[in-house]
Structure 1
Amino acid sequence: MNSDKKGINTICIHEGGVEDVVFKGATSPLYMSTSYAFEDVDVKRYPRYYNTPNQEALSKKLATLEHAEEAMIFGSGMAAISTALMTFLQAGDHVVFQQTLYGGTYNFAVKQLERFGIAYTFTEGWNVEDFQAEIKSNTKLIYIETPSNPLLTITDLSAIVGLAKKEGIMTMIDNTFASPINQNPIDFGIDVVLHSATKYMGGHSDICAGVIASTKANMEKVFETAICFGGSLSEYTVWLLERSLKTMGLRVKAQSTNALQMAEYLVTNPDVVNVHYPGLTSHPDHELAKSQMHAFGGMLTFELHHDIDVSLFFKQLKMIKPSMSLAGVESTVSSPVQTSHALMSADDREKQGINEFLVRFSLGIEDIDDLVADIEQAIAKIRSLQVHA
């Protein structure tokens, strides 16, 4: 059967499992061993070599989901990001980073790259002209994130690939917010796809993992770096992640539906002054998002009216959880200033439009009416407290 013709939920469930040849169980058996035979075997298996039975099977599922030739699973999203960057960059090289970027990636760039003689530039914006303006004679890589964390900016995949091919530059994308359910950058010509699998792939707020997906030739290079850095994942977590991936298509579809409905509600809320969600027709890149995404994802951000204390708002929520991470089946909110972008300077956050009133909202799979009611009661409580203050 041609896997290219399988539906996304079929791929999530049936690709890349370990067959239980002994007991014929419906789920993959878990192989916990850290030591395998080296004589009279086809493969010399070792956890740090990313080739134990569960690691190998899961990597096949991930590659299929991202339309890649091969993939590897890591101990965290940052392990995947740092390994990928250090694989394809060396002393004397230059990398162009998108301005709107996950805070952890930003921090890695500013704290680590210069130590290795690698130069970097952040773009002024996220249009292709902004990237073109930063390319130098030694530029080897363009790094993008779309939709971006936390402001959901949209970068034109086709335009970036066109620019990179013209200049002979590699492209790399953090595809975490979209997930492979909503966006497949390799179909547009992107070279390397990265994920924090902690998010939509895990989906239950109980797994920390990362993914790199690309061509066989590129992944051979990644492997040589990865075995030195040692960012492999425990077997039990690999097994849990395979279990979680089986429902990713269903979860992400429900989360995307909830996010669109929530964004449409927040736009009408007088206590909200700004909503960032590419599914809104008012989003400046709505049409671009439609052209390269299957749906608009489960993440949005909104800015509360500036007379509302964000910390108090978080405390008044009864169902939605203030929490640092995202993409679980439960809805969560966070303050990017205090969490994902806390390591950035205040000036750099201001350049991106990240302020203390900004709320990052990860929609779960609850009933949307219950989520709206929780938002409304929290704001009503704050307004009541202000009246009686």
Structure 2
Amino acid sequence: MVVSADGHPAQQFHIETQVVHAGEAKPRYGGAAVLPIFQSATFAYEGELTYASVKYARCSNTPNHTVLAAKIAALENTEDGLVTTSGMAAISTTLLTFLRPGDHMLTQTALYGGTYDFVHKDLADLGVSVTEVDIAQPATWQAALQSNTKVFYVETISNPLTSVGDLPAVASFAKQHGLVSMIDNTFASPVIFRPADWGFDIVLHSATKYLNGHSDLIAGAIAASADSITKIVAKLNHFGGSLDAHACFLLHRGLRTLVLRVRQQSQTAQALAEFLEQHPQVAQVHYPGLPSHPAHKYAKRLFEEERCGGVLAFELKGGVEAVDTMFEALKLPFVAPSLGGVESLITRPSSTTHVGMSAEERQAAGISDGLVRLSVGIENTQDLTHDFEQALSRIL
């Protein structure tokens, strides 16, 4: 059950209404229509009985934190929520909450580069082992299960190849074997997919991306049961990954336009994917909205209104040299890492988001040096299509 900032159950409105009204304090602080920035590290003691409940900014329980967490929990349809200093803070803190030395975890192949490094290097240093599985092949998971397996970790839409697996089967398998199911929902956002509705225990976000949507802050978010959030908060309090008040304010503001942005971005991404798939300079397009994509059947079944998000990837027949030519000729997309902003962003994952992986690891994950990842903004669809058309025409 989702609760609002005043402790009362939140009514289940449609998501367009939730992004505006869910979690807001009642009565509003000072009658303000917009939640003020509480620029205070500490607050008056009011008889709190536990360390985590003492009002202190590092404990992520100021008014800016609690209203924002309640809104995110409502959007993901979970009991509780939490915001952190970055997506990696959310991911690493959550994994360290539920894993101990000697434990084992399952992950999908082709994780986001930062997550891949953390799981395969940092957790390995702490004595946690990992086995990668194909999340489109549930029949293979049992063989990867060990007596010490504790967590099954996946992404709704993988970064950067936009693959989608049998997500309901992941949640069901985890529940059947007593595992904690965790899913990075960054690429989809709750506008497209609500993992908790399909049985997932913990939902993670790089809130830097779609939840905020304006490329002006770094933040993470976690949505889960009240019990799980209590455990994660205890760990976060010690690690110190609490989001500052001003970043909370910006993320709170960005969330209010989430639905409008994601729907526009998904619509344009679909159009661009269809255009690029037919272009003679393009070797392959990775976007689950395309019938040619291996995960198209899952996207049609799982995603709201069959929208597949604003990120697509593609490869040019001319390789890296052709990519460089296209990058120089593009007028609208900004060549930079990250995604989910109102402006279109384009990058080569092998040199940015996944540069921490070795060449061999990238090759095994299907990430070629010439792979391009495009995060579609809210620009006019026709303008973006024409821009790619003229840029691709420059390739000899």
Pair in the same fold by TM > 0.5:
yes
CA contact (8 A) 1:8 1:181 kept: yes
Amino acid at match of 1:213: A
TM-score, length basis structure 2: 0.93
| 1: CA distance, partners of 2:334 / 2:293 | 26
- Name 2:41's counterpart in structure 1: 34
Helix, strand or coil: the match of 1:382? coil
Structure 2 stretches of 5 or more lacking a match?
A: 1-7
| 1: CA distance, partners of 2:170 / 2:46 | 48
* Partner of residue 113 from structure 2, selected from 92, 103, 109: 103
Q: Deviations over 1:42-72 (max 9, x none)?
A: 9631011110011011000000000110010
Helix, strand or coil: the match of 1:90? coil
CA contact (8 A) 2:186 2:207 kept: yes
Report the CA distance between 1:312 and its aligned residue.
2.6
CA contact (8 A) 1:99 1:126 kept: no
- Name 1:325's counterpart in structure 2: 338
Amino acid at match of 1:97: T
| 1: CA distance, partners of 2:29 / 2:99 | 45
* Partner of residue 203 from structure 1, selected from 213, 232, 248: 213
| 2: CA distance, partners of 1:4 / 1:327 | 28
1:1-389 alignment, distance < 5 Å: 3=10, 5-18=12-25, 21=28, 23-39=30-46, 44-123=54-133, 126-294=136-304, 295-306=307-318, 308-383=321-396
Report the CA distance between 1:18 and its aligned residue.
4.2
Q: Deviations over 1:203-230 (max 9, x none)?
A: 0100110011111111111111111111
Report the CA distance between 1:39 and its aligned residue.
4.6
| 1: CA distance, partners of 2:344 / 2:297 | 27
Amino acid at match of 1:245: L
* C-alpha distance 306-37 of structure 1, shift in aligned 2 (>3 A): same
Helix, strand or coil: the match of 2:205? strand
| 1: CA distance, partners of 2:156 / 2:338 | 18
* C-alpha distance 21-121 of structure 1, shift in aligned 2 (>3 A): closer
CA contact (8 A) 2:162 2:287 kept: yes
Report the CA distance between 1:132 and its aligned residue.
2.7
Q: After TM superposition, what 4+ stretches of structure 1 lie above 4 angstroms from structure 2?
A: 1-4, 18-23, 39-43
Report the CA distance between 1:21 and its aligned residue.
4.9
Amino acid at match of 1:111: K
- Larger deviation: 9-18 or 224-233? 9-18
Identity, in percent, stands at 44
* C-alpha distance 272-4 of structure 1, shift in aligned 2 (>3 A): farther
* C-alpha distance 12-21 of structure 1, shift in aligned 2 (>3 A): closer
| 1: CA distance, partners of 2:197 / 2:46 | 41
* C-alpha distance 283-22 of structure 1, shift in aligned 2 (>3 A): closer
* C-alpha distance 91-140 of structure 1, shift in aligned 2 (>3 A): same
CA contact (8 A) 2:325 2:394 kept: no
Report the CA distance between 1:168 and its aligned residue.
1.7
- Name 1:387's counterpart in structure 2: none
Q: Deviations over 1:122-152 (max 9, x none)?
A: 2256422343331111111110112100001
* C-alpha distance 228-203 of structure 1, shift in aligned 2 (>3 A): same
Helix, strand or coil: the match of 1:137? coil
| 2: CA distance, partners of 1:272 / 1:341 | 22
Report the CA distance between 1:305 and its aligned residue.
1.2
Helix, strand or coil: the match of 2:221? strand
| 1: CA distance, partners of 2:377 / 2:80 | 30
Cα RMSD, aligned residues only: 1.7
Helix, strand or coil: the match of 1:337? helix
| 2: CA distance, partners of 1:130 / 1:13 | 43
